[in-house]
Structure 1
Amino acid sequence: MEPEPGPPAQPVVVVFTGLPGTGKSTMADRTAMHLGAPAFSGDWLMGSLKPAAAQLAQLGREAYSRLYHSVLGGLLTRQLLLGQSAVLDCLVTDDVADHWRSTAIAHGAALKVVECVCSDVDLHRSRVEGRVRGIPGWHEIDWSHVERMRGEFPTLTGERLTLDAVGSPDSNFRSVCAYVLGAVGSSP
């Protein structure tokens, strides 16, 4: 097996998106470790906001979503101001990805979106029902939640790499490395 190429020569933002149970957190964490960059997880952010849930619920779903993406965008911007890469693990729309891409470009970085899917419904369901993430303040996701989310989030249309959880984690990670480093080059 070939080793993965080294980290990129310039900062890169890698956004992992997809429904729960498709492997996005696994790939995001692995990519962050490979790049030596932080992984900012939407689920961990939501768990940390849980103490303010009553006040946040008053915002309404759309305003809460804007707050969620704004906080992640702020963390992203801070990394870019430091000249460092970042990995984001969250659900995004094309509009959010485009906004973050503009932010990355303004700071001399590339932004790559990786959409994680699972084409095998039975496998996807077993992955969701069999996992315990243990995120403080955040609930475990069940299959009905995933099905609801599938209907609520629009399909991405922008440029992205699509990974299928049916593939092996090692093969998917090699695809991520090729996709990310193909745009920005790698360090010597």
Structure 2
Amino acid sequence: MLIAMAGLPGVGKSAIADAIGERLGLAVVSVDPIESAILQAGIDGDQPTGLAAYLVAETLADAVLQTGRGVIVDAVNAVAPAREQWVRLAARRDVAVRFIAVECSDPEVHRARLESRERDLAPLEEPTWHAVERSLDEWEDWAGESADVRRLTIDTLRPLEECVAEAVEFVRG
């Protein structure tokens, strides 16, 4: 199975992805550390490092799927082409794909989480709250995407354990 996370920076995607991975014994491939490594290698930040990171994540996820194991992809996946990338990969490997869209319905809580996180991903810069707010304009609705792809939306105002339990039940169901 391929599980693709989706959501704005700071909503709790990584915490949920890591907990699901631990609970179900699934590998987690996260785009942000990949992009950080690309930047550490000296690739100019003006280059499309985000796209490169998604392509590397796809290659890694594909390698995991080839071993017969499931994988979780931890990425923003804000636009339809990014989400379709995972649908196509699952189809190529003939595995189920599940999307877990993560949101935080309280903007003040979301902002506090974003501004307090420390991920040690230099030279990748943490997005500012202003940048996250601007990215809402770029977020593409799920309308028009494949109707047979299952998706769960989780609001992380609830305790992490409740969110993870709901996600695990969704994945297993």
TM-score by structure 1 length?
A: 0.80
Instruction: Name which of 61, 72, 83 aligns with 2:57.
Output: 72
CA distance in 2, matches of 1:20, 1:65: 14
Residue of structure 2 equivalent to 1:163: 154
CA distance in 2, matches of 1:149, 1:53: 24
Q: Is 1:29 matched with 2:15?
A: no
Name the SS of the counterpart of 1:88 in structure 2: strand
CA distance in 2, matches of 1:165, 1:155: 19
Give yes or no for contact 2:104–2:156 (8 Å, CA) kept in 1: yes
Residue of structure 1 equivalent to 2:75: 90
Name the SS of the counterpart of 1:160 in structure 2: strand
Percent identical across equivalent pairs? 25
TM-score by structure 2 length?
A: 0.86
Give yes or no for contact 2:9–2:76 (8 Å, CA) kept in 1: no
Residue of structure 2 equivalent to 1:5: none
User: Which residue identity does 1:149 align to in structure 2?
Assistant: S
Aligned residue pairs, count: 166
Q: Deviations over 1:5-63 (max 9, x none)?
A: xxxxxxx1111111111110100111111222221111101110113332x62x4x4xx
User: Which residue identity does 1:104 align to in structure 2?
Assistant: A
User: Which residue identity does 2:133 align to in structure 1?
Assistant: E
Alpha-carbon offset, residue 140 of structure 1: 2.5
Q: Deviations over 1:127-150 (max 9, x none)?
A: 111221222432223211211222
| Alignment gaps of 5+ in structure 1 | 1-11, 183-188
Instruction: Name which of 93, 118, 122 aligns with 1:107.
Output: 93
Residue of structure 2 equivalent to 1:125: 111
Root-mean-square deviation over aligned CA pairs = 1.8
Q: Is 1:17 matched with 2:2?
A: no
CA distance in 1, matches of 2:83, 2:13: 16
Give yes or no for contact 1:134–1:140 (8 Å, CA) kept in 2: no
| Alignment gaps of 5+ in structure 2 | none
User: Which residue identity does 2:27 align to in structure 1?
Assistant: P
Instruction: Name which of 97, 102, 126 aligns with 1:116.
Output: 102
Give yes or no for contact 1:23–1:116 (8 Å, CA) kept in 2: yes
Name the SS of the counterpart of 1:116 in structure 2: strand
Q: Deviations over 1:71-124 (max 9, x none)?
A: 111111111111111111102132332332232133231111111111111111
Residue of structure 2 equivalent to 1:135: 121
